[in-house]
Amino acid sequence: MRHSLLSKFQGTILGAVLGNVIGLQYQRQLVGIPAQTEDLLPILQLTKYQQLTLSRSTLALNSSSSKIPIDKHSSGCGRLAVAWVQSLIRCNGLDLNDWRNTWEAFAKSEIYHPQRTEFQSLLNPCESAVAALPIAMFFHENKAKLREKIMLATEVWQKQNGQEYETGVLAVGFAIARSLKQRLDPATAIEQTIAYVKTDNALTELLLQVQILLEQGADLETATTHLCKSATDLREKLGEGEKKSQTKSIVNPENFIPIALAFYCFLNTPEDLRLS
């Protein structure tokens, strides 16, 4: 093995934390809040000698005195992912009662509007994939069991139209699991991922576009523009279909763009954090 399983787990967590912080920075900039680059320094200064660990309320960088408080630097799905990591460790696996209790306690927090008596706030597909990341890591050795556990876990917070959300979680979970087992071939990853999710929807359509972009050697700007246009076209196409069938899809295809871009970046520059 080129990398130990521990190193792969650390890399997965580091990538999730880095993506989470950068995503929050982007969201802040959209509403006019200046970027705070100091938030990124503790993460970017990590080396292979520094260990990323989870504690009760902090992601700690052990080789330095710096700590990243979850309540300040993490999104809701990031905090939920940490809580579910703790659930998996506490129960030595997926205990649906504990998993559900963790979700309901989180859903009652101020993030999900405590005045609501029913947990109607849904994570979007990308947030679902991040929140379910612990499942992909914990059950990465068996893809059949991984599918089973992901579908059980997502039912806790996706009561309706769950299949659309499951697609994103399954796609990301499968890719992470294959990477952890050193079995992810960039040339066939998209094809295998689509086969694994076993459904056709906006995400699988965008993943097919990712495959084309990779084969063409498209740069990031071109890929981003193309995927955004493809998502817009899919939304319009779905809108026309919904008018005819009088049904409504709960997921806007544009919500799948970050997942599609994540696949593009990783498969275009595998194992190169500076570029991916």
Percentage of residues of the chain with pLDDT beyond 70: 66
Helix (H/G/I), strand (E/B), else coil: 81: helix
Domain final position from 38, 55, 74: 74
Q: Please check whether residues 169 and 205 belong to one and the same domain.
A: yes
Please determine, for residue 232, whether its predicted confidence score (pLDDT) is greater than 50: yes
Pairing of strands 67-69, 58-61: antiparallel
| Strand order through the sheet with 58-61 | 52-54, 58-61, 67-69
How far is C-alpha 180 from the geometric centre of its chain's CA atoms? 16
Whether 110 and 197 map to the same domain: the answer is yes
Number of domains in the chain: 2
Look at residues 47, 74, 101 and tell me which one is the last residue of a structural domain: 74
For residues 2 and 54, the model is more confident at 2
Alpha-carbon distance 269 to 276, whole Å?
6
Q: Is the pLDDT of residue 112 over 50?
A: no
Answer yes or no: is 274 within a domain: no
Residue 84: the pLDDT is 86
**47 CB-contact burial (10 Å; exposed 0-12 / middle 13-18 / buried 19+):** exposed
269: pLDDT strictly greater than 70: yes
Percent of the chain with pLDDT over 90: 32
Model pTM? 0.76
Residue, of 182 and 120, whose pLDDT is higher: 182
pLDDT tens-digit series, residues 123-140: 778 888 888 899 999 999
| 18 domain-assigned | yes
Predicted local distance difference test score (pLDDT) of residue 92? 92
Are 120 and 5 in the same domain?
A: no
- 270 has pLDDT over 50: yes
Which of 105-114, 230-239, 240-249 has the lowest average pLDDT? 240-249
**152, pLDDT greater than 80:** yes
Range of the domain at 33: 1-74
User: Residue 196 above 90 pLDDT?
Assistant: yes
Q: Does residue 152 sit within a domain?
A: yes
Last-in-domain residue among 74, 104, 134: 74
Tell me the C-alpha distance between 64 and 223, whole Å: 37
Are 69 and 111 members of one domain? no
Same structural domain for residues 81 and 54?
Answer: no
